Amino acid sequence: MENIIYSPSGNVSIRINEDKMSAWMYIHKSDRVIDEKEILNLIDDSGICHGFEEALDWMAENGYNKEFEKPFPVAICKTSASNETISHHFDPLKTYNPNKEWQFKDVQTWTFIEAGTVLASVSFNLFNDGASVYNIFGEIATNLPGSLMLSDYLGQNVCLDSDNKQIVAAVAGYPYVDENNKINIAENLVYKGDVKLTKVPLTLSVSLTIEGTVNKAHLSVLKDLNVSGNVISAELYSEGNIEIKGDIIDCQTTGVIAMGNLACNSISNSLVLCKGNLAY
């Protein structure tokens, strides 16, 4: 429903469209004198603060003349179905991809984020076709045609901030975009293959699953560590649990240390420490 506002004299009125994207002024026939101050005061009282130039441009483009009892635009905010896009706050090309093979050296190039970090938001292409994301009161328009549904982009370990039109990380980890364009957070990296001699210690802030053996490598993770094969002459540390499907062999220097539980098939000639339960 339109909202109609009258000046104290009743000589001038403004009709605000229901979508708040335009306002139209009427100059009513009257014996009373109409001055500019009355018009400006009415506009000021209405709270309209955007779209004045657009209204003048519209009148010029359409050859529109002001006449008594004929509505003319005082403010117009144009919308467009194509003025919204999703803007990633990380580089999707430089991050973990669970569907691609990766090496430990790649981790240094990936973006790591903390829980609560904004991963994506709606961006507005204000210069696309002269469209505006604001209504005539300077508010973000809530009924833009073709508006993006951010919920369509929600993957694992992320949540939606509807008020700010943002996708936010629910956990710490590595953000990535999957094949369905959904945004996810990987809190467990999966490495497919054997991990062999590492020149420098490798530290990860997430859980790690190794589908292979670990041989003469130095690995440290801040969460859980899982190895499907044997661990040989290696140094492993985990702030969480360690589960090794195979054997721990010749890990003598620093050994295998878990701040949580530790489970393996067998232990041979190795130093093993854990704060939780030890099972082998």
Average pLDDT of span 197-211: 86
Pairing of β 242-244 and β 225-227: parallel
pLDDT at 251 over 70: yes
Provide the pLDDT confidence category of residue 163 given band limits of 50, 70 and 90.
confident
Which residues, including other chains, have CB under 8 Å from residue 78's CB and lie 6 or more apart? 21, 54, 129, 130, 131, 132
Provide the pLDDT confidence category of residue 80 given band limits of 50, 70 and 90.
low
Give the amino acid at 195: V
Which of 83-97, 175-189, 207-221, 257-271 bottoms out in mean pLDDT, i.e. has the lowest? Answer: 83-97
E strand or H helix at 180, and its extent?
Answer: none
Q: Say if pTM beats, i.e. exceeds, 0.85.
A: no
pLDDT tens digits, 4-47? 999 998 999 999 998 888 999 999 988 877 888 999 999 999 99
pLDDT tens digits, 139-151? 877 655 545 578 8
Which residues, including other chains, have CB under 8 Å from residue 227's CB and lie 6 or more apart? 209, 210, 212, 213, 214, 242, 243, 244, 245, 246
Q: Using CA atoms, how far apart are residues 80 and 126, in angstroms rounded to an integer? A: 10
- CA 229, chain centre distance (Å): 37
Q: Using CA atoms, how far apart are residues 45 and 23, in angstroms rounded to an integer? A: 13
Distances (CA, A) of 207 to 3, 59, 112, 216: 57, 63, 13, 20
pLDDT the model gives residue 193:
94
Name the phi and psi angles at 123, rounded to 5: -110, 150
Q: How many other C-beta atoms can be found within 10 angstroms of the C-beta atom of residue 14?
A: 23
pLDDT tens digits, 48-65? 999 999 999 988 988 888
pLDDT the model gives residue 257:
97
pLDDT at 66 over 70: yes
CB contact at 8 A, 228 and 210: yes
Give the amino acid at 139: E
Average pLDDT of span 245-256: 95
**257/146: higher pLDDT:** 257
User: Rounded mean pLDDT of the chain?
Assistant: 88
